[in-house]
A and B are shown apart, each in its own frame.
Chain A
Amino acid sequence: MLVSYNWLKNYVDLEDMTPEELAEKITKSGIEVESVEYFAEKSDHVVVGYVASCEQHPNADKLNLCQVDVGDETLQIICGAPNIAQGQKVAVAKPGAKLPGNMKIKRVKLRGVESNGMICSLQELGMDEKYIPTDIAEGIFVFPEDAPVGDSVVPLLNLDDAILELDILANRADAMSMLGVAYEVAAILDKEVQFPDESLPVSDESAEDYISVEVEAADLNPYYGAFVIKDVEIKSSPLWMRNYLMAAGVRPINNVVDITNYVLMEYGQPLHAFDYDRFSSDKIVVRRADPGETMITLDNQERKLNEERLVITNGKEATALAGVMGGANTEVNNETKNVLLEAAYFNGGSIRKTVKATGLRSESSTRFEKGVDPNRVKKAGMRASHLLQKYANGTVLSGVAEFDELDKSEKIIVVNTEDINKRLGTDIATKEVASILSRLQFPYTQNKDTFTIQVPTRRGDITIFEDMLEEVARIYGYDKLPFTLPEGSNQAGGLTERQLLKRKIKQLMQSIGLSETLTYSLTNGGDIKRLISPEIVEQHPTPVALAMPMSEEHKYLRLSILPEMLRTLSYNIARNQSNLAYYEMGSVFISDEKEITKQPKEQLRLSGALTGKWLEQPWQQEKKEVDFYLVKGMVEKLFHYLEIPVRFEQARVKDMHPGRTAIVNIGAQKVGFIGQLHPGLAKELDLKETYVFDLNLEAIYGAYENILSFQDIPKYPSVARDIAFILDKEVLAGEVKQVIEEVGAPLVKHVQIFDVYQGENVPEGKKSIAYSLLYQDPNKTLKDNEVEESYEKIVEAVNSKFNAYVRS
């Protein structure tokens, strides 16, 4: 909401307070003033001048030579504006004047003739083009005839005004008017509010002789008032009104339209003026539109209507989309003689729906949406009638034709000083509470320290004790609230086991050389299908999509963190940062429903992506690219850290290198995968050899908690044995390990591969793999023969299963 400082002065005594000081006070009391801007840069030595004569310049076709009376002297001025004419009153920048844009006016000679000043347009005086009425946007500005010659144009054109931009939040609809702001400022400054003149002369005829009102949808339109103003003269509105409208960001049009806009701004009550004769009916019917009904609005658009739209009709056809926009067929124009003025209360929800459906948001619809003051609807109509009589020479007919089922009653709230102080932590005196209520102009009765408050309907936001609490607190001053700390129950704060573990895993990831990334959870149609971990694929998840995404890039809830991480890698590589090692922890969204009706399962996952060089030390010619075993080592480190046994199983995973990918298992449960990104996909993403891992952190948490609860510190010593097998080259080390673990259970606690060898002393087509076995019995010290027996069984099992033999 734009508030003109000069306009506001009409309602509240602002003393000598600067606009900036006022803004600071308003902000501190609850409505944020976002900016204070001056309407125009300062001009001086610019006065009203009378164009006594105007002739063509002797040496130039397009220039005029004018003699302009500026009060104390007559200046010869050359003017190029096409609209200059003898008899006009214009803005004259005298020699020595300074105009916005640091323009200095001097005596000059133009084509041999002296020019002593400049006749100005509004633009030249620093006004924003967009607020200047279209009919005077070209050429110089012409004052009304009564403008006093020689007077400074600054006050006449309101050029010294400051505009305060207020950020009105949803609850303060009351402040969306000059009067509302006046109440607010008066409360803050402890001043009175001056009310506008709503008086109307008595007329012989009454409005009801000309119009009747019928409302068929009282739920959406509980009040409709129709005023009739006869014999209006359409012309420009007075200069002061035009100035204020421009200051409020509204472009002046003609007196009738300007007056409805002016009252809209002044009272916060939208009004609509119909051309009575073109309305061509003596009956207003307000109803829901029929399905399929259409109307042409002011902007000459045909609007398709339905039962959700409220329309104003003349009994036959729609003449306005209620509260949103008038119809083209009943618009006030230059030929208008008689005006039918609507002052109505429309239901905010209904207006909001119409605005959403049509996209027609306006100063009017916004106020209806937020709720107007029930007790100001009719008054606004009277105020506009008053102004139409005064500035359009109209005859206001007595009374108003109306439909009225509007609840205009005031809320009663009872508060007492003790409750207020208890909740605020303050020590405000009862006397002060009373003074605050008076400043707010809330009528009340007082019984000792209890107040029964009658909340004015303009403050529709105040309905309960807590609302009054805020009113008292903000006028008292949030600054004056003491600083205290809670005195209640003292629980010990802290993180849960899982939250602690999450932090530890993050630290581990960082200590092994990975940096954390944070990518978007919303991804595109291509990436939603990529790099999904096999155990999720098995669940056949339905991608969850937004109903109305902002862009195709962020439409689906991710099923894998990796695609967005790879995007991050590409982004960096494009900026010559090619050695990258990242991890990210975040949720993926798994839904097993065909049609989404309930929240998808959110699964926390830990992903990593690495590319480029892992190690580089040029002077020693050392260089190590990231590879499968580096990434595997990292994943193993995590599981060792958590003491969770884990198994890697060669597998094919979509978008991954078919020969360099493994599924990660805890027991029989798949918990993710690691491996090399498929070179085809890597190429598409402008990536070189890239390795990734993706793990279900929740499954890992579960396994960790399981192990914690079963694990005791071993009491008896362990025995280590090494064993090396000669195996066919194709045999996987992990499969042999699995057999050793199975056959060796329960005494074999840990199996580690410590050597893989091919070459001398190993037959062609064979390889040697050495395992280190750790034996332990939790209940007693192991005997040699037990270990020996188990060892023999393992050798036998491996030999027979893999066609292997023990290397001696």
Chain B
Amino acid sequence: MKEQLEAIQAEALEKVEQAKNPKELQEIRVTYLGKKGSLTKVLKGMGKLSKEERPVVGQIANVVRDAIAKALDDKSEMLEQIALEKQLESEAIDVTLPGRPVNVGGPHLLTSIVEEIEDLFIGMGYEVREGPEVETDYYNFEALNLPKNHPARDMQDTFYITNELLMRTHTSPVQARTMQEYKGEKPFKMICPGKVYRRDTDDATHSHQFTQIEGLYVDKNVRMSDLKGTLDKFAKKMFGEEREIRLRPSFFPFTEPSVEMDISCKVCQGAGCSVCKGTGWIEILGGGMVHPKVLSMAGYNPEVYSGFAFGMGPERIAMLKYGVNDIRGFYLNDKRFLKQYHKA
């Protein structure tokens, strides 16, 4: 019987070897391993064997069955592999043709700049506050130490709606509102970004609508050197670690002392060029120590509290940082302009 089994194995393996497709393999499987298959038939004759022979032959039969099954599986896998390769070959495409376009939009350059500045100050512990674009004369001017008929009101030509209502000329009213909300008790750091309006004729450097970000820090014992350190940190993060800053005395009714901040010109490294009008410095923002009248009007005792404030124009920063040379460009929304700065 052992010989018989070995012959079956040899025959079956031979057939597997020659099989060309899964169907033939299935037939081979039925022929040899099926319920009526030749191997089964041989095993049925085992009853005639002696008690001693039976396990020996049984073992051989198992070996034979496993060998055939394995050969069938291997061959089947091989055939599948070949079929798959064939199929994939037929699916080949021209990978050098252009891909299908995917539409992705992007932020406006000013949004990118504003968010960058917001994040920078958030990192220094500032909260972000917003307020109305139509303001009262009180919050836009009076609460900021600009009483009616103050000469400095000429500095800001204002779009009035009524005698008492106007388009805010800066985001400082948000500062006044925040101070009032905190009732003269709480120290705080805030920045307020937003749209502002001035009665200007639109040209390359003026826009009747533009963006502003102002900041305010009120606490006990705020020093002018804190303002200088904060602005320095801001300038270096925004414009590069190698930039130097310079503070110059200036005038704003809501701060005293007041400062104007310049950064060293990147183009000429301070030597003087057309970008910096030969001075080596570029004006970036204004600020100062909060005027005691502004503090007291909002309920903060200037004997106890002091603070600093600053304000800047994202358009100007964008113009310097990205070389935009006409402020109107921000509001025309030319597709090419917008796209150019989507990664800004």
Interface residues of A (CB under 8 A from B): 24, 27-30, 32, 169-172, 348-349, 352, 369-371, 422-426, 464, 466-467, 469-470, 473-474, 478-479, 481-496, 499, 503, 506, 509-522, 544-550, 554, 557, 568, 571-572, 575, 577, 580-583, 586-587, 589, 596-600, 602, 614-617, 619-620, 622
Could you pull out 18 A-B pairs where Cβ atoms are within 8 angstroms?
Answer: A170-B154, A466-B256, A469-B256, A479-B246, A482-B228, A483-B228, A484-B223, A493-B121, A493-B122, A493-B127, A496-B127, A509-B105, A517-B333, A520-B331, A550-B199, A550-B208, A568-B332, A616-B101
Q: Among A516, A546, A549, A617, point to the contact of B338 (Cβ < 8 A).
A: A516
| Shortest distance between the CB of A396 and any CB in chain B (Å) | 34
| Shortest distance between the CB of A622 and any CB in chain B (Å) | 7
User: Given A494-B127, A547-B162, A484 and B111 touching (CB < 8 A)?
Assistant: no
Docked-complex contact B249 and A29, CB < 8 angstroms: yes
Docked-complex contact A510 and B224, CB < 8 angstroms: no
Residues of chain B lying within 8 A (CB to CB) of residue A30: 248-250
User: Is B239 an interface position by the 8 A CB rule?
Assistant: no
Docked-complex contact A481 and B187, CB < 8 angstroms: no
Docked-complex contact B248 and A580, CB < 8 angstroms: no
B107, B132, B164, B224 interface centre (most CB from chain A within 10 Å): B224
Q: Which residue of B lies closest to A557 (CB)?
A: B134
Q: How far is the CA of A577 from the CA of B208 in the complex (A)?
A: 27
User: Given A516-B107, A550-B208, A577 and B335 touching (CB < 8 A)?
Assistant: yes
Docked-complex contact A580 and B335, CB < 8 angstroms: yes
Docked-complex contact A170 and B104, CB < 8 angstroms: no
Which residues of B209-227 have CB atoms within 8 Å of chain A's CB atoms? 209, 217, 219-226
Q: How far is the CA of A82 from the CA of B111 in the complex (A)?
A: 66
Q: Which residue of A lies closest to B231 (CB)?
A: A483
User: Given A30-B248, A516-B108, A519-B333, A425 and B223 touching (CB < 8 A)?
Assistant: yes
Extra pairs beyond A473-B257, A520-B209, A546-B161 (7, CB < 8 Å): A171-B251, A423-B289, A485-B229, A493-B123, A549-B159, A550-B208, A602-B133
Q: Among A170, A495, A546, point to the contact of B167 (Cβ < 8 A).
A: A546
Docked-complex contact A571 and B333, CB < 8 angstroms: yes
Of all A-B residue pairs in the complex, the 6 with the closest CB atoms, nearest first, are A425-B225, A513-B103, A30-B249, A425-B223, A470-B257, A488-B219
Residues of chain B lying within 8 A (CB to CB) of residue A491: 125, 127, 187-189
Docked-complex contact B187 and A516, CB < 8 angstroms: no
Q: Which residue of B lies closest to A602 (CB)?
A: B132
The number of A-B residue pairs with CB atoms under 8 Å apart is 261
Q: Among B111, B150, B232, B342, point to the contact of A483 (Cβ < 8 A).
A: B232
User: Given A506-B111, A549-B159, A550-B199, A599 and B334 touching (CB < 8 A)?
Assistant: no
Residues of chain A lying within 8 A (CB to CB) of residue B75: none
| Shortest distance between the CB of B130 and any CB in chain A (Å) | 8
Interface residues of B (CB under 8 A from A): 97-98, 100-101, 103-108, 110-111, 115, 118, 121-128, 130, 132-136, 149-152, 154-155, 159-162, 164-165, 167, 187-189, 195, 197, 199-201, 208-209, 217, 219-226, 228-230, 232-233, 246-251, 253, 256-260, 279, 289, 291-292, 306, 330-336, 338-339, 342
Docked-complex contact A169 and B230, CB < 8 angstroms: no
| Shortest distance between the CB of B135 and any CB in chain A (Å) | 7
Q: Among A422, A597, A602, A622, point to the contact of B223 (Cβ < 8 A).
A: A422
Residues of chain A lying within 8 A (CB to CB) of residue B103: 512-513, 581, 614-615
Residues of chain B lying within 8 A (CB to CB) of residue A545: 161
Docked-complex contact B134 and A548, CB < 8 angstroms: no
User: Given A423-B289, A483-B225, A483-B232, A600 and B122 touching (CB < 8 A)?
Assistant: no
Q: How far is the CA of A333 from the CA of B12 in the complex (A)?
A: 136
Docked-complex contact A481 and B209, CB < 8 angstroms: no
Q: Which residue of B lies closest to A583 (CB)?
A: B105
Docked-complex contact A488 and B222, CB < 8 angstroms: yes
Q: Which residue of B lies closest to A369 (CB)?
A: B151
| Shortest distance between the CB of B125 and any CB in chain A (Å) | 4
| Shortest distance between the CB of B312 and any CB in chain A (Å) | 17
Residues of chain A lying within 8 A (CB to CB) of residue B250: 30, 32, 169
| Shortest distance between the CB of A30 and any CB in chain B (Å) | 3
Q: Which residue of A lies closest to B154 (CB)?
A: A170
User: Given A30-B249, A470-B257, A515-B339, A522 and B197 touching (CB < 8 A)?
Assistant: yes
| Shortest distance between the CB of A556 and any CB in chain B (Å) | 10
Q: How far is the CA of A277 from the CA of B132 in the complex (A)?
A: 61
B130, B199, B247, B256 interface centre (most CB from chain A within 10 Å): B256
Q: How far is the CA of A478 from the CA of B231 in the complex (A)?
A: 13
Q: How far is the CA of A28 from the CA of B253 in the complex (A)?
A: 20
Residues of chain A lying within 8 A (CB to CB) of residue B108: 515-518
Residues of chain B lying within 8 A (CB to CB) of residue A479: 246-247
Q: Among A483, A494, A554, point to the contact of B122 (Cβ < 8 A).
A: A494
User: Given A170-B155, A493-B121, A496-B128, A466 and B292 touching (CB < 8 A)?
Assistant: yes
Q: Among B221, B259, B306, point to the contact of A478 (Cβ < 8 A).
A: B259
Q: How far is the CA of A495 from the CA of B333 in the complex (A)?
A: 27
Q: Which residue of A lies closest to B134 (CB)?
A: A599
B133, B136, B160, B336 interface centre (most CB from chain A within 10 Å): B133
Q: How far is the CA of A489 from the CA of B226 in the complex (A)?
A: 13
Residues of chain A lying within 8 A (CB to CB) of residue B217: 486
Q: How far is the CA of A379 from the CA of B252 in the complex (A)?
A: 31
Residues of chain B lying within 8 A (CB to CB) of residue A170: 150-152, 154-155, 251, 253
Docked-complex contact B104 and A510, CB < 8 angstroms: yes
Q: Among B107, B118, B151, point to the contact of A370 (Cβ < 8 A).
A: B151
Residues of chain A lying within 8 A (CB to CB) of residue B149: 349, 352
User: Given A469-B256, A510-B104, A516-B108, A478 and B249 touching (CB < 8 A)?
Assistant: yes
User: Given A510-B105, A515-B342, A522 and B134 touching (CB < 8 A)?
Assistant: no
Q: How far is the CA of A581 from the CA of B335 in the complex (A)?
A: 10
Docked-complex contact A550 and B105, CB < 8 angstroms: no
User: Given A473-B224, A546-B159, A599 and B136 touching (CB < 8 A)?
Assistant: yes
Q: How far is the CA of A599 from the CA of B226 in the complex (A)?
A: 36
Q: Among A488, A492, A520, A547, point to the contact of B161 (Cβ < 8 A).
A: A547
Docked-complex contact B331 and A518, CB < 8 angstroms: yes
Q: How far is the CA of A304 from the CA of B261 in the complex (A)?
A: 47
User: Given A467-B256, A493-B127, A519 and B154 touching (CB < 8 A)?
Assistant: no
Docked-complex contact A478 and B151, CB < 8 angstroms: no
Q: How far is the CA of A512 from the CA of B103 in the complex (A)?
A: 7
User: Given A481-B247, A548-B160, A571-B334, A617 and B225 touching (CB < 8 A)?
Assistant: no
Q: Which residue of A lies closest to B163 (CB)?
A: A547
Residues of chain A lying within 8 A (CB to CB) of residue B133: 521, 587, 589, 602
User: Given A170-B155, A425-B226, A571-B333, A522 and B208 touching (CB < 8 A)?
Assistant: yes
Residues of chain A lying within 8 A (CB to CB) of residue B136: 599
| Shortest distance between the CB of B112 and any CB in chain A (Å) | 9
Docked-complex contact A550 and B122, CB < 8 angstroms: no
Residues of chain B lying within 8 A (CB to CB) of residue A369: 151
| Shortest distance between the CB of B88 and any CB in chain A (Å) | 22
Residues of chain A lying within 8 A (CB to CB) of residue B105: 509-516, 581-583
Docked-complex contact B195 and A513, CB < 8 angstroms: no
Residues of chain B lying within 8 A (CB to CB) of residue A577: 334-336
Q: Which residue of B lies closest to A421 (CB)?
A: B223
Q: Among A474, A493, A572, point to the contact of B189 (Cβ < 8 A).
A: A493
| Shortest distance between the CB of B114 and any CB in chain A (Å) | 10
Residues of chain B lying within 8 A (CB to CB) of residue A32: 248, 250, 260
